[in-house]
Amino acid sequence: MPIHPEKKFSLPGEYVKLFNHKVMNFLCSILIKLIIKMRLICLVMLLSLSGLQAKVWSQATLLELNANNVSMVEAFRQLQKKTQLKFVFNLEELQGYTVNVNVQEKTLEETLDLLFEGKPLQYEITSEHVIISRKPVMPFVPQPLETIEIKGVVVDENGGALPGVTVMVKGTAIGTATDVDGKFTLKMPKTNTEQVLICSFIGMKTAEIKLAKGQTNCKVTMEEE
């Protein structure tokens, strides 16, 4: 029997190309789905980290701080670690300051208020920093003295009015002169001690009169020399 050579089976070229095209489309669709899933996972992780960061930076976050007889700088170092805020200060302004506080469940502002109690320091909290500085020195403004108004009249031995009489508060530069009716008005500092008025006029003996505490009216009689 004659032996026939075995025939090889082969697909036409068009079917091969079609098969390869379908495989590539399938692999591409899987790859695109994987990329989309990875992007979604990254987005979720980013949002989670953003939420965590917002929590850390919130000024309403309650803190705990154990600062027993430590320097102010050390207390700031601990707070900086807990809050992730950068503390900005002049080291020379904090020299010699120590703190002794035990803070439980306090906000950053409440904690700083405890640290700064009795110290000439102030703070400002921004989104990324806590700025420490010395309180400005307020200029001394003297309080106005409380005054009282003294009214009186100066007459001669016959009861006649004496105009132009000089009336001074003893020991001060406060003074005035009587008017045509012999009357005078002057303001003087209110004190808890007796004040003395000195009345002088040409041709008359100098007269002194003591004012009792709270006395606001007086009558002075002058004698001829």
In sequence order, which residues have a C-beta less than 8 Å from that of residue 88 and are 6 or more positions away? 129, 130, 131, 132
Terminal Cα distance for the chain, rounded = 182
Which residue type does 142 have?
A: P
The pTM of this model reads 0.42
Residue 207 has pLDDT above 90, yes or no: yes
Do residues 79 and 63 lie in contact, with contact meaning Cβ atoms separated by under 8 Å?
yes
pLDDT in tens, 125-163: 888 889 999 888 877 777 777 888 999 999 999 999 999
pLDDT on residue 106: 87
Q: Which of 9-13, 23-27, 51-55, 68-72 has the highest mean pLDDT?
A: 68-72
Mean pLDDT, rounded, of the chain: 80
Average pLDDT over residues 39-65: 57
Least confident of 22-26, 27-31, 69-73, 194-198: 22-26
Do residues 22 and 88 lie in contact, with contact meaning Cβ atoms separated by under 8 Å?
no
pLDDT on residue 218: 92
Q: What is the SS3 assignment for 62-131?
A: CEEEEEEEEEHHHHHHHHHHHHCCEEECCHHHHCCCEEEEEEEEECHHHHHHHHHCCCCEEEEECCCEEE
